[in-house]
Structure 1
Amino acid sequence: MTRFFSMMAAMLAVFLAVAPAMAASEKLDPENTIYLDLKDGRVVIKLRPDLAPKHVEQIKKLTREGFYDGIVFHRVIDGFMAQTGDPTGTGMGGSKLPDIPAEFSNAHFGRGTVGMARSQDPNSANSQFFIMFADGGFLDGQYTVWGEVVSGMEYVDEIKKGEPPANPDKIVKMQVAADAK
């Protein structure tokens, strides 16, 4: 009987560990989910059109055009964030689309938050974005939150650090889940 209870306890532990991830993936809207493939694995990002509809629209448009495929992470600060989205790899470039007006919110910049990079001008966001490694509450209300990592954060943690990193990591492929093949 003790063996039976031990087995049941082990099965319950596995279920409790896996159930939240299964529930999260079942609730994701494919039209508002991004697959960000890195060298180490897939990062799943839940888009937040409720917070930043214009930013989400631009990210999806650029993603569908293949804009982000092959772009490097040009600024990666350990304990802070990994930034990408500049086709020049310098941190000074963007897409050919117009800049987006700020959509600041009360959303907190915690670990896994995806925000839009910009210059000193709050309305200068275009294609560059960053993923938070750790809490960054000092960014709250000053940058636009447009997504959150719901799985694969361990792969974001493996992105080579530096400003710029020597031999920087790249986005292998980025796609809207509804379009994924």
Structure 2
Amino acid sequence: MAEIKDPENTLLIELKDGTVTIELLPDVAPKHVERAKALARAGAYDDVVFHRVIEGFMAQTGDVEHGKAGGNTRRAGTGGSDMPDLPAEFSKLPHDRGSLGAARSSNPNSANSQFFINFGDNAFLNGQYTVYGRVISGMEHVDKIARGEPPANPDKMISVKVAADA
């Protein structure tokens, strides 16, 4: 288990194999961090599937509109939350292994609730997608997420909590 320096800016994502601890970066992307915490605190991320998982690239989740496990997840990846889209908060932080990026459409200001965790160093994403967190423990659990676009039997986030509330 990682040492949590700032519980208010740390997410705990429970996966089938264990807990993934994510350090959020409010100094880099304050709007994205606030959105992630608001959705976690509302329980919106609980039971949401990883709908796009590409070997060597990334695992994407967070479609709170269409991504609930047990429902019809065929449209997962096409929705967001009922909150407005977020403006891009690009930085110099790299999309390296374990970094958390905001998923979006081709419009840089269309991120909402979806995010991805990079499996490897994906420098080609640098400066094009907002980085707002990094895995500080549990990356071995992320590595075990079922692959596919969408996976035949998708894994899900069992629960997502802000560490300060856990």
| TM-score above 0.5 | yes
Identity %, equivalent residues: 64
**Shift, 1:50, TM fit:** 1.0
**Shift, 1:174, TM fit:** 0.2
* Equivalent in 98, 106, 110 of residue 120 of structure 1: 106
Secondary structure of the residue aligned to 1:102 is coil
Aligned pairs for 1:1-181 (under 5 A) are 25=3, 28-87=5-64, 88-89=66-67, 90-180=76-166
CA distance in 1, matches of 2:130, 2:3: 24
Q: Decide which structure has greater helix share.
A: 1
CA distance in 1, matches of 2:52, 2:78: 11
The amino acid across from 1:176 in the alignment is V
Secondary structure of the residue aligned to 1:25 is coil
Aligned pair count reads 157
Alpha-carbon deviations, 1:4-27, whole Å to 9, x = none?
A: xxxxxxxxxxxxxxxxx7xx605x
**Shift, 1:85, TM fit:** 0.5
- Give RMSD over aligned pairs: 1.0
The amino acid across from 1:83 in the alignment is Q
CA distance in 1, matches of 2:11, 2:101: 14
CA distance in 2, matches of 1:56, 1:38: 20
CA distance in 2, matches of 1:61, 1:128: 13
CA distance in 1, matches of 2:44, 2:16: 18
In structure 2, runs of 5+ residues without a counterpart are 68-75
Larger Rg: 1
The amino acid across from 1:148 in the alignment is R
The amino acid across from 1:142 in the alignment is Q
Moved runs in structure 1, 4+ residues, more than 6 A?
none
Secondary structure of the residue aligned to 1:35 is strand
CA distance in 2, matches of 1:34, 1:91: 21
Tell me which moved more, 80-89 or 59-68: 80-89
**Shift, 1:64, TM fit:** 0.3
**Shift, 1:175, TM fit:** 0.2
